[in-house]
Amino acid sequence: MRRLLFKNLLRKPLTEPAPQADAGARAQLAGAADLAQRPPLGRTIAIREIDAGSCNGCELEIHALGNVLYDLERFGIRFVASPRHADVLLVTGPVSANMREGLARTYDATPHPKWVVAVGECARNGGAFAGGYACLGGVAAVLPVDLHIDGCPPSPTALLEGLLALLERVENGAATAAAQELAPNG
Amino acid sequence: MRALRDFIADGQALSRHRPWPRAVVGRDVWERAIVLLQEERATLLALWGERDAVHLALADDTPPLILSFACEGGRYPSVGQRHAPAIRLERALHDLTGIVPEGLADMRPWLDHGRWPVRHPLGERQRGRALPPYAFLANEGESLHQIPVGPVHAGIIEPGHFRFTASGETVVRLEQRLGYTHKGVEALMAGRSLGGAARLAGRVSGDSTVSYAYAFARAVEAALDIEVPPRAVWLRALMAELERLANHFGDIGAICNDAAFALLHAQCGLLREHVLRAADACFGHRLMMDRVVPGGVAADLAPEGGQAIGGLLTHVRRHFPELIELYDNTASLQDRTAGTGVLCAELARRFGAGGYVGRASGRGVDARRRPGYPPYDRLAFDVPVRNEGDVDARVWIRIREVEQSVALVEQLLHGLPAGPIRGAAPAAAGEVREGAALVEGFRGDVFAWVRVAADGRVERCHLRDPSWFQWPLLEAAIEGNIVADFPLCNKSFNCSYSGHDL
Ligand code: SF4
């Protein structure tokens, strides 16, 4: 083990440069309702991930964010075990009827201010599972969604770009949003 | 099963079912089949239903066989009452179709949580209704306590509920409650075009998207007598092996992580990412979703794909051996995995457990070998088997399978035939056709059955995840272990929730 650790110490980090925050995500977040009521969160966000009936594909790519190449935690973004500790709920899946209550209760257990990010085609509109008896057809059917990150599944880079836009937003909160509105031309 | 087969030869076999026979049988043959299962002379492959019939797929060392029972009065003799692996299948079948397994003691709903607008979505539909709280099995004894976990878990994983009964730290019983991710896939399948249905099949369990699309495509091709171009046959296997590699790397790392050994988790995560990037470079999608389609494959190997895979193989060959050595030589890690979560060979056999769960407990069955499908008949590979049945054995099976898959990927790349990747679009047969297929995913054998209507649309499709026969075994394997070892055991099984809940 020592040999391996030593070797890794000597070589350059594998972590790749950070992508830019996604412009589309920025625009979505600028339009988020009740922005003024949500005070800025600062430099870090804690995410509680909820699988609301996904195929597990989205989870795989969310997982990948933690590997050394994407290294999500360097941005101050981390996953937490309890909704009580979370600022953001990252929700996947078409929301199966059987998960509706679990999702709603997790949201209720999350303290204010909180943000909801819907990940994947399913979470937007039910995706391949829309129209059946067993799904509600997307996260917005149950919770107010601030940001959609599209893809089936979205790549880790796409997830990162979306989350960085969210980080920007929650860091500055309503103050920046208000400032932007006051100065529309610059 | 030979006796059963002879009996069926008497003229009940349906001619439009490929490649294995399906026969409508009476009560006596159905009962005989149950006895075969009970005596472990045959393995249960699948059990599913529709409005007025149930179907039972069996396997032994001869090709599989499918028996159908016409349910007059909406009933059939329960298989589960005498052969435990069928219990959850029958409970699910009842939820979906309303057909009653005669004599089954445990009739608690399984997939139906009382949240759907309809009851029996695949049978005689009725208005949905709320259900009383789920009745977990009773536990009696002094100083027992219960720990309810889920459906929303602590990590980034799928939802399901675990009810532990513990005595101090020791698990006395684990009872699972699943169905949270039920999406009504089988009802959604009905009436879809073959392309649309293939897309859906590839989303039953995202980690096995290639295997599902592969199994579905093979079932359709069997039903419609479609010839697949050789290049596509080989590319499918290439995708399937890449999928196996990615998942095994992910699993090995995650198991070590649950034993608090983060170094291997980081290293394996890197290997997994390499596989996904190679897959993306080769086929344009990291998980290779929607790449296997009825009739062939949707994407040819990209020009730079060969190089990407070459790079991947070199990387794995250089770095994986030192990780194996690290796993093998870290006493604190071995201390957690060896002897933990033992699954005995007898149970693995009775449940017909596939994949690393079965192979770590002495059951060396692999659908690539038996019943087998091309191109694996032309490739050299071993099916590793171990007998310890513990977490450590399940890790070792994965390690050995990684080595096999690396060798397979190399053979596939070298032997890749030239030519088209897709035949003519599957045409409507003008009559009802049926087909079945079994494909070895990373987790075990995926079973697909499809009935294609005369107009070429899917009439009924059933997809059975290997997890159906692995989840119940996890309940057995955890007994007597400490609660804190559950994540480790669970990860070593890595059963699918979505594939099971369908
Ligand atoms: S968006 Fe795609 S990958 Fe994500 S859960 Fe839905 S089907 Fe699976």
pLDDT digits (tens, 9 = 90+) for B386-427: 999 999 999 999 999 999 999 999 999 999 999 999 987 777
pLDDT in tens, B260-290: 999 999 999 999 999 999 999 999 999 999 9
Question: Does position B76 have pLDDT exceeding 70, yes or no?
Answer: yes
Which residues, listed in sequence order, are joined to residue A135 by a DSSP beta bridge? A96
Contact between residue B25 and residue B55 where contact means Cβ atoms under 8 Å apart = no
Q: Longest Cα pair distance anywhere in chain A, in angstroms?
A: 58
B270: phi then psi, degrees, rounded to nearest 5: -65, -45
CB contact under 8 A, A132 and B187: yes
* Total-model pTM: 0.95
Distance from CA of B415 to the nearest CA of A (A): 31
Cα torsion for B89, B95, B96, B100, to the nearest 10°? 80
Which tokens hold the place of B501?
């809940």
Output the pLDDT for position B316: 97
Q: Judging by beta carbons within 10 Å of its beta carbon (0-12, 13-18, 19+), is residue A56 exposed, middle or buried?
A: buried
pLDDT-based confidence at A38, cuts 50/70/90?
confident
Output the pLDDT for position B1: 67
pLDDT in tens, A85-123: 999 999 999 999 999 999 999 999 999 899 999 999 999
User: By three-state DSSP, how is residue B192 classified?
Assistant: coil
Q: Is A109 on the interface with B (CB under 8 A)?
A: no
Residue of A50, A51, A54 with the most ligand 1 atoms within 8 Å of its CB, for mutation: A54
Q: Is B182 on the interface with A (CB under 8 A)?
A: yes
Q: How many CB atoms lie within 10 A of CB B34?
A: 21
Q: Is B496 on the interface with A (CB under 8 A)?
A: yes
pLDDT in tens, B320-334: 999 999 999 999 999
Q: H-helix or E-strand containing A183?
A: none
Measured between CB atoms, which of B152, B276, B496 is closest to A56? B496
Contact between residue B449 and residue B461 where contact means Cβ atoms under 8 Å apart = yes
* Average pLDDT of the residues in B467-487: 96
B165: phi then psi, degrees, rounded to nearest 5: -115, 125
- Among A72, A90, A78, A60, smallest CA distance to A18 is for A72
* Average pLDDT of the residues in A59-71: 96
* Residues having CB within 6 Å of any atom of ligand 1: A 54-55, 57-58, 92-93, 120-122, 127-128, 152-153; B 203, 206
* Average pLDDT of the residues in B104-133: 96
- Among B93, B110, B111, smallest CA distance to B102 is for B93
Atom number, ligand 1, closest to the C-alpha of residue A57: 3
Cα torsion for B423, B425, B426, B428, to the nearest 10°? -150
Output the pLDDT for position A185: 42
Question: Does position B57 have pLDDT exceeding 50, yes or no?
Answer: yes
Preferred mutation among B97, B120, B183 to probe A, highest tally of A CBs within 10 A? B183
- Among B323, B291, B320, B293, smallest CA distance to B305 is for B291
Residues of B in contact with A96 (CB under 8 A): 180-183, 501
User: Using N-to-C axis directions, what is the helix angle for B305-329 and B230-258, rounded to 10°?
Assistant: 30
How far is residue B114's CA from residue B434's CA, in Å, rounded to a whole number?
33
Output the pLDDT for position B486: 95
Question: Does position A174 have pLDDT exceeding 70, yes or no?
Answer: no
How far is residue A121's CA from residue A126's CA, in Å, rounded to a whole number?
7
User: Using N-to-C axis directions, what is the helix angle for A57-64 and A156-182, rounded to 10°?
Assistant: 80
DSSP state letters, B383-436: ----S--SHHHHHHHHHHHHHHHHHHHHHHHHH---S-SB-SPPPP-SS-EEEE
Contact between residue B24 and residue B70 where contact means Cβ atoms under 8 Å apart = yes
Measured between CB atoms, which of A81, A96, A102 is closest to B183? A96
Output the pLDDT for position A183: 45
Measured between CB atoms, which of A4, A83, A153 is closest to B206? A153
* Average pLDDT of the residues in A1-20: 85
A50: phi then psi, degrees, rounded to nearest 5: -130, 125
Output the pLDDT for position B3: 65
Q: How many CB atoms lie within 10 A of CB B262?
A: 12
Find all residues with CB under 8 Å of B361, minimum gap 6, and list them. B343, B344, B345, B347, B348, B353, B386, B387, B389, B393
Alpha carbon A35 to chain centroid, angstroms: 17
Q: Longest Cα pair distance anywhere in chain B, in angstroms?
A: 70
Which tokens hold the place of A141?
């059917």
Percent of chain A with pLDDT over 90: 72
How far is residue A4's CA from residue B90's CA, in Å, rounded to a whole number?
51
Which tokens hold the place of A75?
């941005």
